[in-house]
Structure 1
Amino acid sequence: MTKRIKIVVAGPRGNMGREAVQLVAKTDTFDLVAVVDSRNDGKLLEDVEGFSGLSVPVYTDMQNCFEQHQADVLIDLTSPAFGRKHMEIAFANGVRPVVGTTGFSDEDISELRKMAEEKGLGAIIAPNFAIGAILMMKFSQLAAKFLPDVEIIERHHDRKLDAPSGTALKTAQLIAEVREAKKQGNELEKEELAGARGADFEGMRIHSVRLPGLVAHQEVIFGGEGQTLTIRHDSMNRASFMPGVKLAVETVLKIDTLVYGLEHIIE
């Protein structure tokens, strides 16, 4: 008999959080044991608008939640301000975090990886859970070996807090692994308006667009002699991220370190 995975979801009222709650509720091998929210403490989730039939308790304090309920995995889809704190509480309680929050620094990731390994627990931080976006990043890394001149344009909804996106940064980091840093464009170019050329990552330019109506979109544009190559991914809704969340939950139970980026587990 397959062991059921006991899951706590943090951030259930957000767009991603709502999708994750539904994913856990409809997956035969997952059990939703509680949610952690910034409000509604003491209520049942079914008493919150949009969660009919889900009679699991709501907590505002994550430590209290873990003291009251045994959990295997925390799915955290909150905000950069809470992501690291929630991971530390999860580790302290023997719970394996799967985190979709972006905004982690290299130092954060290094320190959290050390905590995970000291506890012998798996953890996954994914800038993007969409399988197509992960393939876009991997394809871009391959293309950069042959076409090293590249710029990234990422487009997101206007409620997104960080810029550039975690996906854009991760893409640039993967490309940098196979490409020597170089200044792109005319060496004498001048920005008539500061920021016009976008952010600079080892010579690559990253441009962030924030508009209502968008979800998550990115194109990586390569230029070569007489040719261009564009690799693009579009998420039309948050359901596109759920297969990746499911894969991360199932994988985090099998590892004992922190993995940053879903590309490391889809192979």
Structure 2
Amino acid sequence: MRVGLMGYGRAGRAVARVLAEDARFELCWIARRHAGEGEHMDERPDVPVVGLAGTDLNHWFDTHPVDAIVDFSEADTLFLYGEELRRGGLTLVSAISAYSDEHQRYLRELAGQCRIMSSPNITLGINFLLMAAKLLRDFAPFADVEVVEQHFRDKPEVSGTARRIAESLELEEDRITSLRVGGIVGHHEVIFGFPHQTVRLIHDSIRREAFGTGAAFALLELSGHAPGLYSFDDLLMEKMHNRLLEGRAA
């Protein structure tokens, strides 16, 4: 599968390394807001880095065709490549956490012709945690629930993943506790307080390459789906459902 990557910050660089080393994918190019002439991926001169500013994306997509885009840039980048996505019927895996209502409407529009997965955190672990937390919340709606998130010192906002966990559990945002300490990549914890016991569901991102393995999972899962807008939960729940059916058949 030929893949183009949007975004080349700390997360984007880690995702690029994972995709470039995975034999199931061909990382064809990387796009960032600004790029120097002749710039290429670190230690991979065969993977060009193009600047979005001043580039004719219509021509670029024609001369550098891909089957899918992975987006680790920023929300408004969607408007730069969205029509190329539609024109080619491409697959999109987006890890953007700050999409506005306008962005979401545009994603739904594009999903009429494209396979799109959008999730603020695309690590397998955090999405498994989210699924388990929702199940436990259904089993025990009387339990006290709190969400704790920890990230690197300079992250300014409450994490989009923590907000999504809270929303899925029908919690107000004031039930999220945020800590900013050193160089923590990402820590999310859901605490269930029962009478006489406590359950803690914890996920730690140790390296940003975890985002790359999540993106690879989503790309492969989407390839078997019809055009539409999916969440990581959708892909994970369907895979689990199919496995359960296989187990019953056996």
Q: TM-score, normalised by structure 1?
A: 0.77
Q: Determine the structure 2 residue equivalent to 1:195.
A: none
Deviation for aligned residue 1:233: 0.9
Deviation for aligned residue 1:41: 4.2
In structure 1, the residue corresponding to 2:169 is in which secondary structure? Answer: helix
Partner residue of 1:259 out of 226, 230, 242: 230
Deviation for aligned residue 1:85: 2.2
Counterpart Cα distance in 1 of 2:75 and 2:181: 20
Q: Determine the structure 2 residue equivalent to 1:212.
A: 182
Q: TM-score, normalised by structure 2?
A: 0.81
Is 2:168 the partner of 1:174?
yes
Aligned residue identity for 1:99: S
Is 2:49 the partner of 1:53?
no
Counterpart Cα distance in 2 of 1:106 and 1:148: 32
Q: Which runs of 5+ in 2 are unaligned?
A: 240-250
- Show CA shifts across 1:85-107 (max 9, x none): 25524424423221112112455
Aligned residues: 229
- Show CA shifts across 1:116-136 (max 9, x none): 11xx21011122122111111
Counterpart Cα distance in 2 of 1:168 and 1:77: 18
Counterpart Cα distance in 2 of 1:224 and 1:106: 36
Aligned residue identity for 1:223: G
Counterpart Cα distance in 2 of 1:103 and 1:126: 10
Say which structure is richer in helix. 2
Q: Determine the structure 2 residue equivalent to 1:224.
A: 194
Counterpart Cα distance in 1 of 2:184 and 2:116: 29
Identify which range, 152-161 or 232-241, moves more after superposition.
152-161
Q: Determine the structure 1 residue equivalent to 2:38.
A: 43
Q: Which runs of 5+ in 1 are unaligned?
A: 182-199
